[in-house]
A and B are shown apart, each in its own frame.
Chain A
Amino acid sequence: MRWLTLYARSRQVPASVTALLISTTALWFLTAGDTPGFRMASIALATAVAVMAVGLGGQDLDLDRTAAVRWLPRRAAHVLLIGTLAATALLALQSAGPDLAPTAFVIRDSAGLMGLAALAATAFGAQYAWTLPFAWPTIAFFIPHADSNAFRASTWMLQPPDTPAATWTALTLAVLGTTAYAVAGPRR
């Protein structure tokens, strides 16, 4: 328990969770009346993942690595927890009020964005972990509509839940990101 508390503190979990709760509630509150809410739902989830992602690295990585603990499962658990938290926050609000997006949509987007955050943390470092889950939706919003799998894959976070290309893209990102981060850890 003590380990967990210290780990959470070194990963700025209290601040991140506060930011996550405030931002998700604010976005949901402001836009829940609008339909279709896929855009806003994906922004809300991207924000949630982005603010949690800054904790994908500690104060001193060299010091972390001297610890005689098995990092691989802990890192994987951390990434999965980010996705779970992001999805849970929105789903909890939706169960209390109007829906922004279906449950399957929320789970798929959280999984994919979580993977992106983990990939960015592995490639660029924890303080840049938010860049990919932020940049992809930003670009995807303005990709012109086309009837092709390339379009559905590149705008996976905006597609309806029963789109295979989008689901596979999200799943690939989730698996790739979680594995990469669990094995390699954040870049220094």
Chain B
Amino acid sequence: MNRRILGIELRRSAAPWAGVLVVVVAFGFLYSFSGPWGHSAEDWTEQWTNAAGWGRFLLNVLWPLVVGAGALQGLRDHRSGVGELLSSTPRPVLHRALKTLGATAITLAAGYLVIFAVAAVQVVANEGYFHLGWVPTVLVGVLGMVAGAWLGIGVGRTLPSALTPPLLALASLVGITFLTLGSDPASSLGGAVPMRVSLLSPALSGVRDVFAVVSDRVSAGQAVWLVGMAATGLLLATASTARRRLVSLLPVAVGAAVALAVLPADRAQTYVVDQAATELVCQGRLCVTKMHEAQLATAGGQAEEALRLLAKLPDPPTGVREVVIAKSDTGVRPRSATEVTATFDDLDLGEVGAGKLTRRLVSGAGAPTCFGWGDSTTRDQYEKATRETIARSVAASWFVDSYAPPHDTRNSDYPEYRESNDLAKRTWDSLRALPADEQLARMTALRSVSLSCQGDQLDALTGGAP
């Protein structure tokens, strides 16, 4: 009997619609807009952590929708006017409520897991680094969906008015936006909300670093708060007297109090670096992080080739090593005279095409760029960075012995790109016109500039001539 009623609820209530809505909105979002979830190493289909993290980001949109759907579900009895009839039956209210709540929870959890499953299948196909650090992130996401819907049902039953669903849905939208944006110092709210409070939002702000996983403390705090919220929803859905309704608010209050005590107060403790993923695995002279292990076979040959080409230099590097830097790190990247240091993005074969790794490793004569992510803000800086890009590209062409322009102008024809390409070609031609030992001397000079980050790499190549 119970199974049959649950089956009917699953087929004929608002529950299946809510599940479908979640999936449609999520995929509509991920596939129709090109956002940070589709870029480079943080792509939502590249790594397990990314798949889980972007799923949680989607809660920013999905959570208010789910709360609204729950409120509509909770109003159903009132709309059909069967409250009096049902209260005359001897069966406890809980029995009936559990089926509605259960059906909603099942479809929403299924919808959320479908999103994750689609991401996970692609992660497996992309040979992402497998670990279990993503499990709490996904589970808290499922819990968030269920808690939101149950709260909606509970409030809908408590305040059975046609105005309840729109007001509740919009209140949850305002709330979650306020929490998510409020802690971000760059937003218009300017960090008005303490980090601890902002973490009460079931959504996350997106994946910024592939090595960072949500810390267990954050997941635990959020889980306690969301369980409290779900319990309040359940109690509200079954309460019939004013006193019981008041008591129903207890779990969510306790949950919030416990969560606030558990959640970390500063941003640095929200995400932790997955140490196991950053461990180096070596094959021959190439060392990459555990997360890149799958690419070792493809990248190994190209790294050897790059080292062989760099051996022309008087004091050549003897290995290639991946270095872990956070996107937020400022200052110059780590560099070494004995090894070629490459970042995660440099080694990301999916992003550049497998054949280009060698060229990338020998550019700048085996040393990384001297400019960071936020270093082209002033005109002067931008100019320097552009000159460096040209010099690095010409150096790469010299090592692989085939010219390629620094910018691909087939798709985007900016005037700046054309100027850069012209300058690169001129530099290349004048460099190749020199005697062989002079060419090598200039390349050695470029290498010492790129290792010390003192001076101008293009000047080193041209010998000071413009």
**Are A142 and B61 in touch, CB under 8 angstroms?**
yes
Q: Which of A36, A51, A143 contacts B166 (CB 8 A)?
A: A51
Give Cα A8–Cα B149 distance, bound, in whole angstroms: 32
Q: Which of B157-165, B254-262, B365-373, B407-415 contacts A (4 or more CB under 8 A)?
A: B157-165
Asked if A28 is an interface residue, CB under 8 A from chain B, the answer is no
**Are B166 and A47 in touch, CB under 8 angstroms?**
yes
In the complex, chain A residues whose CB is within 8 Å of the CB of B169: 50, 130, 134
Give Cα A54–Cα B61 distance, bound, in whole angstroms: 22
Q: Which of B1-9, B64-72, B128-136, B285-293 contacts A (4 or more CB under 8 A)?
A: B64-72
In the complex, chain B residues whose CB is within 8 Å of the CB of A131: 68
Nearest Cβ distance between residue B378 and chain A, in whole angstroms? 23
Q: Which of A16, A46, A135, A141 contacts B163 (CB 8 A)?
A: A16
Q: Which partner residue on chain A sits nearest B188 by CB separation?
A: A34
Nearest Cβ distance between residue B23 and chain A, in whole angstroms? 14
**Are B29 and A135 in touch, CB under 8 angstroms?**
no
Q: Which partner residue on chain A sits nearest B58 by CB separation?
A: A142
Q: Which of A51, A128, A139 contacts B167 (CB 8 A)?
A: A51
| Count of chain B residues near A, Cβ 8 A | 27
The total of interchain contacts (Cβ-Cβ below 8 angstroms) comes to 76
**Are A130 and B166 in touch, CB under 8 angstroms?**
yes
In the complex, chain B residues whose CB is within 8 Å of the CB of A34: 188-189
Give Cα A43–Cα B61 distance, bound, in whole angstroms: 14
- Given known contacts A127-B79, A128-B72, A139-B25, is B163 in contact with A134 (CB within 8 Å)? no
Give Cα A131–Cα B14 distance, bound, in whole angstroms: 14
**Are B34 and A51 in touch, CB under 8 angstroms?**
no
**Are B163 and A143 in touch, CB under 8 angstroms?**
no
**Are A35 and B166 in touch, CB under 8 angstroms?**
no
Nearest Cβ distance between residue B229 and chain A, in whole angstroms? 19
Give Cα A19–Cα B169 distance, bound, in whole angstroms: 14
Interface of B is mostly: helix
Q: Which of B170-178, B243-251, B330-338, B456-464 contacts A (4 or more CB under 8 A)?
A: B170-178
Q: Which of B33, B64, B173, B177 contacts A143 (CB 8 A)?
A: B33
Asked if A15 is an interface residue, CB under 8 A from chain B, the answer is yes
**Are B34 and A27 in touch, CB under 8 angstroms?**
no
Asked if B92 is an interface residue, CB under 8 A from chain A, the answer is no
- Given known contacts A128-B72, A138-B65, is B33 in contact with A144 (CB within 8 Å)? yes
Q: Which of A1-42 contact B (CB under 8 A)?
A: 12, 15-16, 19, 23, 27, 34-36, 39
**Are B188 and A35 in touch, CB under 8 angstroms?**
yes
Give Cα A39–Cα B60 distance, bound, in whole angstroms: 15
Give Cα A122–Cα B161 distance, bound, in whole angstroms: 21
In the complex, chain A residues whose CB is within 8 Å of the CB of B189: 34
Asked if A174 is an interface residue, CB under 8 A from chain B, the answer is no
- What are the interface flags for A102-139 relative to B under an 8 Å C-beta threshold, 1 for contact and 0 otherwise? 00000000000000000000000011101100110111
Nearest Cβ distance between residue A21 and chain B, in whole angstroms? 13
Q: Which of B142-198 contact A (CB under 8 A)?
A: 161-163, 165-167, 169-170, 173-174, 177, 188-189
- Given known contacts A27-B174, A139-B29, is B165 in contact with A130 (CB within 8 Å)? yes
Give Cα A134–Cα B177 distance, bound, in whole angstroms: 14
Residue of B72, B75, B165 with most chain A CB atoms under a 10 A cut-off:
B165
Give Cα A66–Cα B30 distance, bound, in whole angstroms: 48
- Given known contacts A127-B79, A141-B177, A142-B60, is B188 in contact with A134 (CB within 8 Å)? no
Q: Which partner residue on chain A sits nearest B172 by CB separation?
A: A138
Asked if B466 is an interface residue, CB under 8 A from chain A, the answer is no
Give Cα A46–Cα B173 distance, bound, in whole angstroms: 11
Q: Which partner residue on chain A sits nearest B25 by CB separation?
A: A139
**Are A134 and B166 in touch, CB under 8 angstroms?**
yes
Nearest Cβ distance between residue B187 and chain A, in whole angstroms? 10
Asked if B353 is an interface residue, CB under 8 A from chain A, the answer is no
Nearest Cβ distance between residue B118 and chain A, in whole angstroms? 19
In the complex, chain A residues whose CB is within 8 Å of the CB of B174: 27, 43
- What are the interface flags for B61-86 relative to A under an 8 Å C-beta threshold, 1 for contact and 0 otherwise? 10011001000100100010000000
Give Cα A36–Cα B181 distance, bound, in whole angstroms: 14
Give Cα A19–Cα B161 distance, bound, in whole angstroms: 12
**Are B163 and A47 in touch, CB under 8 angstroms?**
no
Q: Which partner residue on chain B sits nearest A47 by CB separation?
A: B170
Q: Which residues of B does A touch, CB under 8 Å?
A: 25, 29, 33-36, 60-61, 64-65, 68, 72, 75, 79, 161-163, 165-167, 169-170, 173-174, 177, 188-189
- Could you name 13 residue pairs across A and B whose Cβ atoms are closer than 8 Å? A23-B170, A43-B177, A46-B170, A51-B166, A54-B162, A127-B165, A130-B169, A134-B64, A134-B166, A135-B65, A138-B64, A144-B36, A146-B34
9 closest A-B pairs (Cβ-Cβ)?
A: A130-B166, A144-B35, A50-B166, A54-B162, A47-B170, A19-B163, A34-B188, A134-B169, A138-B64
- Given A53-B166, A135-B25, A141-B61; 4 other pairs, CB 8 A cutoff: A127-B162, A130-B169, A139-B61, A143-B33
